[in-house]
């Protein structure tokens, strides 16, 4: 039996960074649903939070899980659920909810897990000072992520 302990910090945004999740209530509903759905699929979400146009998720990978498959399952099912339950999200104003295709997936060392959890936990405060675009640009630069065109 293989033993595996690999943490990944995922970050993804709404399509065109639309602020569809612009209330605390709507975010809580989506994060809770994502967590419950992931658990039913054997995906362990350590911590989840975000802001009006994006989501942060700390996940411990399972033996037969890949980054791409986890994102496909989480993003696809949650956008389907949001659209199926539009009455819970009046701020959509009849529009279709979608997540952006791209995402970040950064490995997390055991030694900084608590720092990443706190960072994810404090998204509300964090984004009073910094936009998601600023954060996105900083992540690209800090981790030297090469964007393929």
CA 6 to chain centre: 17
Instruction: Give the model's confidence band at 146: pLDDT under 50 very low, under 70 low, under 90 confident, else very high.
Output: confident
Asked if residue 148 belongs to a domain, the reply is: no
Q: pLDDT tens digits for 1-12?
A: 788 899 999 999
Residue 149's pLDDT is 59
Asked if residue 147 belongs to a domain, the reply is: no
The domain total for the chain is 1
Average pLDDT on 107-127 reads 94
CATH number assigned to the domain comprising residue 80:
3.30.70.1290
Cα distances from 2 to residues 5, 62, 63, 64, in angstroms, run 10, 10, 7, 10
Structural Rg of the chain based on CA atoms: 15
Asked if residue 42 belongs to a domain, the reply is: yes
> How many residues are given for the chain?
149
Range of the domain at 125: 7-142
Q: Long-range contacts: 39-44, Cβ < 8 Å, 24+?
A: 41/73, 43/70, 43/73, 43/74
User: 73 Cβ partners below 8 Å, 6+ apart?
Assistant: 37, 38, 41, 43
Q: Which pTM value belongs to this model?
A: 0.91
């Amino acid at each position: 039996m293989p033993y595996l302990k690999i943490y990944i910090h995922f970050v993804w945004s709404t399509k065109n960074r639309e602020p569809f999740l612009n209330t605390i209530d709507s975010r809580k509903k989506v994060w809770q649903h994502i967590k419950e759905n992931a658990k039913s699929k054997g995906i362990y979400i350590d911590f989840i939070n975000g802001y009006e146009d994006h989501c942060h998720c700390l996940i411990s990978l399972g033996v037969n899980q890949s980054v791409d498959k986890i994102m496909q399952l989480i993003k696809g099912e949650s956008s389907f659920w949001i659209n199926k339950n539009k009455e819970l999200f009046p701020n959509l104003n009849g529009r279709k909810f979608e997540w952006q295709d791209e995402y970040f997936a950064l490995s997390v060392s055991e030694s900084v897990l608590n720092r990443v959890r706190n960072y994810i936990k404090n998204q509300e405060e964090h984004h009073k000072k910094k936009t998601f675009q600023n954060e996105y640009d900083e992540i690209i630069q800090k981790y030297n992520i090469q964007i393929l065109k």
